[in-house]
Structure 1
Amino acid sequence: MERAEITERGRLTRQRIIEATGEQILASGIGGTTLDTVRAATLTSKSQLFHYFPRGKTELVREVAEWEGRQLLEAQEPEIHDLGSWESWERWRIKLVDYYIDRGRWACPIGSLATQAAQTDAELESTLAESMRAWRDALAAGVRRMQIAGAVDESADPGRIATVILAAIQGGLILSQPERSAWPLEAALDNALAPLHQASIEP
């Protein structure tokens, strides 16, 4: 179904279904999320669900993955496309922690989806990998800006530092979940940013 065929009201309904499904997946996993639970949460009929998502749950989950990827990067704006100063990195760090913790998101939607379904759905795996690459590339670009500004040594590997940061975010969220506290995520981020600070050039 072409998106252009959907009315504005239909677009809003479709988006509401995607967002509600994303919240269910985060809380109950893909296996615990069914079209029936989505219908109940969104007060939509079976015919409505298949009108907007003709391929059923598989299509809906893929749409959730795409939406979550966009949301994740948008939540880090504008800092994610700056990161050219230590102040910008600190603002980015604070904003990222707020995005997860203030919204009660004790897990990364992209990371959770990757863990649960990537091996069973090649298209979903590709979508999730692209989201992670876009995030890693944005962080690596920030490291390169620091190098251009003369704040970080040119020998530092932007891609490697960005990968370490992403791994720390995923691990920090896992540890923050049972604690219901931001400190494990904050500690993991501080540790992940350490290589960047270690590569800094003293004025």
Structure 2
Amino acid sequence: MKFTPRSETTRQFIIETTAGIFNKKGYAGTSLSDLTEATRLTKGSIYGNFENKDDVALAVFNFNAERRANIIQERLGKAASHRDKLLAFIDLFSSAEIHVFPEGGCPLLNAGTEADDTHEPLRQRVAEELLETQRELAALIQQGITAREFRAEADPEQVATTILALIQGGIFIARTTRKPLHLDAVLETARKLVREIDTTTSP
């Protein structure tokens, strides 16, 4: 029988209230007591609106992923050229800007690193978001090629995948070593990649 939450309003309250906790402490590291303490709700109220903690984690990830997507779209919408949009995307993840994302940083990296073997539905959702981001970046690069902002020989899929890998890898290194400057160094490599396909720069 399909699970039906007692109250969609309470369910959304739980998601929004615990979004930062899950993203910061981890999906496995967040306990039921963390949820009840943050929401001031009973265990019965939590499980009256979610099947289990994994269900809460998945709903919270979807919420954080949507917030991430909205932040990116808003920032890219302020850039005029395809080149500037691509650079704006990269800059969003710098040590000076990454605070604009949900508390705890990039939800894709946070969820993906711990859900690969422990929470298959969550891993699938992270994969979907990563692939969607890669497709959007590739489309942006292709549009730039069509507009002659980027070199015709540039491979949109490869460039998009490389930029995304640099960003995610840079975040991982910076957080693991507690040295944000490592992230900025990696992002500079991503910016160099954009300059290499920019038609206004020398080959």
Equivalent position of 1:112 in the other structure: 110
* Higher normalized helix content (fraction of residues): 1
One-letter amino acid of the structure 2 residue matched with residue 185 of structure 1? L
Q: In 1, distance between residues paired with 2:57 and 2:80?
A: 32
| CA gap 1:121/1:83 in 2 versus in 1, 3 angstroms | farther
- 1:125 aligns with one of 123, 126, 146: 123
Is 2:12 aligned against 1:15? yes
Shift in Å at residue 103 of structure 1? 5.9
Q: In 2, distance between residues paired with 1:158 and 1:57?
A: 39
| CA gap 1:15/1:134 in 2 versus in 1, 3 angstroms | same
One-letter amino acid of the structure 1 residue matched with residue 91 of structure 2? I
State the SS of the aligned residue for 1:152: coil
State the SS of the aligned residue for 1:155: coil
One-letter amino acid of the structure 1 residue matched with residue 139 of structure 2? A
In the TM superposition, what whole-angstrom CA distance separates every residue of 1:78-136 from its partner, at most 9, and x where no partner exists?
A: 34467843333333333444552356856422112111123233222221111111111
Q: In 1, distance between residues paired with 2:80 and 2:124?
A: 27
Equivalent position of 1:44 in the other structure: 41
Q: In 2, distance between residues paired with 1:83 and 1:141?
A: 16
Q: TM-score, normalised by structure 2?
A: 0.81
How many residues matched?
A: 196
- 2:90 aligns with one of 74, 90, 93: 93
One-letter amino acid of the structure 2 residue matched with residue 17 of structure 1? I
| CA gap 1:29/1:79 in 2 versus in 1, 3 angstroms | closer
Structure with higher RCO (Cα < 8 A, 6+ apart): 2
Conserved? CA contact 2:116–2:123, under 8 Å: yes
Equivalent position of 2:196 in the other structure: 198
Q: In 1, distance between residues paired with 2:73 and 2:138?
A: 15
One-letter amino acid of the structure 2 residue matched with residue 29 of structure 1? G
User: Percent of pairs identical after alignment?
Assistant: 23
Which ranges in structure 1 are unaligned for 5 or more consecutive residues?
none
1:165-176, aligned counterparts within 5 Å?
Answer: 165-176=163-174
Equivalent position of 2:21 in the other structure: 24
* RMSD between superposed Cα atoms in Å: 2.7
Q: In 2, distance between residues paired with 1:38 and 1:59?
A: 13
Which is worse superposed, 188-197 or 130-139? 188-197
